[in-house]
Amino acid sequence: MSQKSLLSLPIPSPEYNSTNESLTRQQIQNSIQSLEDSLFLLKTMQESITSKSIRRHQFLLMGVKHV
């Protein structure tokens, strides 16, 4: 798995800065998307492992050796 780098959000200035806001929004969206991708990958891996395990036990119950 790739290494994740820590990314700190910029410190807001006292006055409104639209560039700073859009940069912050983009960083937050990217972080959320990264978390979502990681969770999807984890869920897919767990389902795959469970599926293979169930299939192996079905074969064993039927008397077929699992290769």
Query: What is the pTM for the complete model shown?
Result: 0.55
For residue range 11-67, list pLDDT tens digits in order. Answer: 778 888 888 888 889 989 998 999 999 888 888 877 777 777 777 777 777 765 555
pLDDT value at residue 66:
52
Query: Which SS3 state, helix, strand or coil, does residue 56 take?
Result: helix
Query: Is residue 37 within 8 Å of residue 51, measured between CB atoms?
Result: no
